[in-house]
C-alpha cells in the first residue's frame, strides 16, 4: 500500500545516502535541519489568497470606453453627414466635399488596421479626423485642398506598407505617385517628397536604388500625362485648378523662398525681417483684406478671423499634446508601430514649421496638418488611463463643441 502524501508545506524526505559514500552529503544534512527547525504549516484558507498585481482589473475610463467602442465610428459618421449636408440647398459642392472626406477617412481606417497603430481594436483615428473636419465649415464644400489631402493620405498608406518588405518597389512607386498627383493641385507639395525619402531611409529602412528610381518615376509620371494632355489640347489648366502647369517652377521656388530670404536678410542686416516676412506672404495680406471687406471698417481683426484662429489654436493644442505624449510613451509599442508614428510626427513637425515660415500657405497646409495629427491624438485618447488624460479628453470635446457652434 503506498504511503500517504506529506501535508501541504512539508519538504520531501531526504534521500538515502549513496551506498558508496561513507558519510551523508551536505545537501542531505541541510534538508534534515530544515525539517527539524521549520514546522509543517497547513494550507491557508481559500479566502486569504491575495491575487497577483498583473491579475488586478484595469480601470477603464470614459475615454477608453468611447475609443474602444464599436459604435463610435458609425455614430460619428452619421452625425458628421447630417451636420455636413443640412440644410441642403441643392448644391453639388457639399456632397462632393463629403465624398472626398469619406474617402480620406476610409484610407486612414485601412492604414490603422494594416499597421496596428493603436494596439487595441479602435477606430479612433478615423473618428478624430471626421470630428475635426466637421468643425471646419470652410472645408465642407469641394475644394482642391481636400483632394490634395486625400492624395497625401493615400501616399502615407502606401509608404507605411514598405516597412519590412522584401520588394518594396511597388508600394514606393504608388506612394510617390500620389505625391505627384497632389502636387498637380499645389506644386510646393513636391518638397514633402524629400521628407518621405528621409522617413523611408531612416525610419522604415526600405530605401534602395530601385526604390529611389521608382519614387522618381512616381513623381514624374503625373506631369508626363499632364504635359501630354496640355500639348494635345493646347490648354495647360483644368477649370477650377489654381495652378497652371507652366507656373510649377515659380511655385516650387516660392515654397522655399521664405527660409532662403530670411537667412540672406539676416546675413546682410539691411532690411528688417518683418518687412521681408510680409513681402513673402503677400497672399496672406491680400486674403486678410478680402476677409475684412465682408465686415465693416470698424470690425476688430480678431472678430473677423475668430473661427480660423480658434481652429488653428485648437488643432495646434491637439498636435502638441499628441506629439509630447507619443515621445514619452513610445516604448510601449512595437518597433514597426513606432517607425510608423515617427513618420507621421516628422511630417507634422515639417508642416508646422512651414506654416510658421509661410502663413500664406495656411490654406493648403492646414487640412494636411489635420490629417497628420490624427494617429497621435487617437493614441493619446485610446491608450492612456489616467485621470489627467481623461480630463483632457472631456475638455477637448468641450472645445470641439465650442468650435462647432461658433456663429461666425
Quote the pLDDT of residue 187.
86
**Residue 111's pLDDT band (cuts 50, 70, 90):** very high
Mean pLDDT score, 2-31: 57
Look at residue 199 and tell me whether its pLDDT is greater than 70: yes
Please classify residue 209 by burial: count the beta carbons closer than 10 Å to its beta carbon, then call 0-12 exposed, 13-18 middle and 19+ buried.
exposed
Rounded to 5 degrees, φ, ψ at 346 are -65, -45
Mean pLDDT score, 248-271: 51
pLDDT in tens, 261-289: 555 554 555 545 455 455 555 555 554 44
Compute the Cα dihedral for 157, 160, 161, 167 and give only its sign: positive
Q: Residue 39, Cβ neighbours under 10 Å: how many?
A: 8
Quote the pLDDT of residue 109.
94
How far apart are alpha carbons 59 and 74 in whole angstroms? Answer: 25
| CA distance to 219, 321, 347, per residue, from 178 (Å) | 8, 29, 16
Residue, of 165 and 216, whose pLDDT is higher: 216
Q: What percent of the chain has pLDDT over 70?
A: 66
Highest mean pLDDT among 125-129, 203-207, 386-390: 125-129
- For the chain, the average pLDDT equals 78
Q: Which residues contact 252 (CB under 8 A, 6 or more apart)?
A: 187, 188, 190, 191
What phi-psi label fits residue 7: left (phi over 0), alpha (psi between -120 and 50 degrees) or beta? beta
Rounded to 5 degrees, φ, ψ at 235 are -150, 120
For residues 343-364, one letter each, b for 16 or more C-beta atoms within 10 angstroms of the residue's C-beta and e for the rest, the string is bbbbbbebbbebbebbbbbbbb
For residues 140-171, one letter each, b for 16 or more C-beta atoms within 10 angstroms of the residue's C-beta and e for the rest, the string is bebbbbbbbbbbbbbbbbbbbbbbeeeebbeb
Quote the pLDDT of residue 358.
82
Quote the pLDDT of residue 246.
44
The DSSP code for 49 is: P
How far apart are alpha carbons 376 and 320 in whole angstroms? Answer: 10
Q: Residue 86, Cβ neighbours under 10 Å: how many?
A: 9
Is pTM, for the whole model, over 0.85?
A: no
Quote the pLDDT of residue 294.
41
Q: Which residues contact 153 (CB under 8 A, 6 or more apart)?
A: 104, 107, 108, 111, 371
Quote the pLDDT of residue 360.
78
Look at residue 146 and tell me whether its pLDDT is greater than 80: yes
| CA distance to 67, 95, 136, 365, per residue, from 370 (Å) | 19, 20, 10, 9
**Virtual CA dihedral for 361, 214, 207, 188, nearest 10 degrees?**
-10
Q: Which residues contact 5 (CB under 8 A, 6 or more apart)?
A: none
Domain boundaries, the chain: 62-404
Mean pLDDT score, 199-228: 90
Instruction: Report the alpha-carbon angle 273-274-279, nearest 5.
Output: 95
* DSSP letters spanning 50-96: PPPGGGSPPPP-HHHHHHT-TTHHHHHHHHHHHHHHSSP-S-SHHHH
**Residue 291's pLDDT band (cuts 50, 70, 90):** very low
Look at residue 238 and tell me whether its pLDDT is greater than 80: no
Amino acid at each position: 500500500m503506498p504511503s500517504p502524501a506529506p501535508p501541504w508545506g512539508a519538504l520531501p524526505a531526504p534521500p538515502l545516502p549513496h551506498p558508496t559514500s561513507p558519510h551523508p552529503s551536505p545537501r542531505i544534512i541541510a534538508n534534515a535541519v530544515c525539517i527539524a527547525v521549520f514546522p509543517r504549516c497547513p494550507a491557508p484558507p481559500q479566502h486569504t489568497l491575495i491575487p497577483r498585481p498583473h491579475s488586478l482589473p484595469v480601470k477603464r475610463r470614459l475615454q477608453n470606453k468611447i475609443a474602444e467602442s464599436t459604435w463610435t465610428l458609425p455614430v460619428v459618421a452619421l452625425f458628421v453627414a447630417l451636420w455636413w449636408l443640412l440644410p441642403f440647398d441643392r448644391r453639388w459642392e457639399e456632397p462632393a466635399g463629403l465624398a472626398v472626406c469619406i474617402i480620406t477617412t476610409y484610407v486612414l481606417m485601412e492604414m490603422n488596421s494594416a499597421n496596428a497603430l493603436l494596439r487595441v481594436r479602435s477606430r479612433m483615428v478615423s473618428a478624430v479626423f471626421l470630428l475635426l473636419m466637421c468643425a471646419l465649415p470652410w472645408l465642407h464644400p469641394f475644394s482642391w485642398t481636400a483632394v490634395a489631402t486625400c492624395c497625401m493620405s493615400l501616399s502615407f498608406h502606401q509608404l507605411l506598407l514598405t516597412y519590412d518588405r522584401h520588394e518594396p518597389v511597388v508600394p514606393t512607386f504608388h506612394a510617390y505617385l500620389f505625391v505627384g498627383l497632389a502636387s498637380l493641385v499645389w506644386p510646393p507639395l513636391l518638397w514633402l517628397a524629400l521628407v518621405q525619402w528621409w522617413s523611408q531611409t531612416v525610419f522604415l529602412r526600405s530605401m534602395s536604388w530601385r526604390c529611389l528610381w521608382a519614387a522618381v518615376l512616381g513623381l514624374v509620371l503625373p506631369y508626363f500625362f499632364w504635359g501630354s494632355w496640355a500639348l494635345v489640347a493646347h490648354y495647360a489648366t483644368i477649370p477650377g485648378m489654381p495652378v497652371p502647369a507652366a507656373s510649377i517652377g515659380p511655385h516650387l521656388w516660392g515654397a522655399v523662398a521664405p527660409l532662403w530670404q530670411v537667412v540672406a536678410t539676416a546675413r546682410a542686416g539691411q532690411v528688417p525681417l518683418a518687412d521681408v516676412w510680409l513681402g513673402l506672404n503677400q497672399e496672406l495680406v491680400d486674403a486678410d483684406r478680402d476677409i475684412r471687406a465682408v465686415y465693416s471698417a470698424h470690425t476688430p481683426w480678431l472678430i473677423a478671423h475668430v473661427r480660423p484662429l480658434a481652429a488653428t489654436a485648437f488643432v495646434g493644442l491637439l498636435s502638441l499634446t499628441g506629439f509630447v505624449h507619443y515621445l514619452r510613451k513610445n516604448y510601449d509599442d512595437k518597433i514597426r508601430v513606432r517607425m510608423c508614428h515617427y513618420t507621421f510626427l516628422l511630417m507634422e513637425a515639417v508642416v508646422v514649421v512651414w506654416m510658421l515660415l509661410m502663413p500664406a500657405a495656411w490654406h493648403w497646409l492646414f487640412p494636411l496638418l489635420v490629417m497628420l495629427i490624427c494617429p497621435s491624438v487617437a493614441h493619446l485618447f485610446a491608450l492612456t488611463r489616467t485621470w489627467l488624460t481623461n480630463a483632457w479628453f472631456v475638455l477637448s470635446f468641450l472645445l470641439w463643441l465650442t468650435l462647432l457652434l461658433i456663429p461666425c
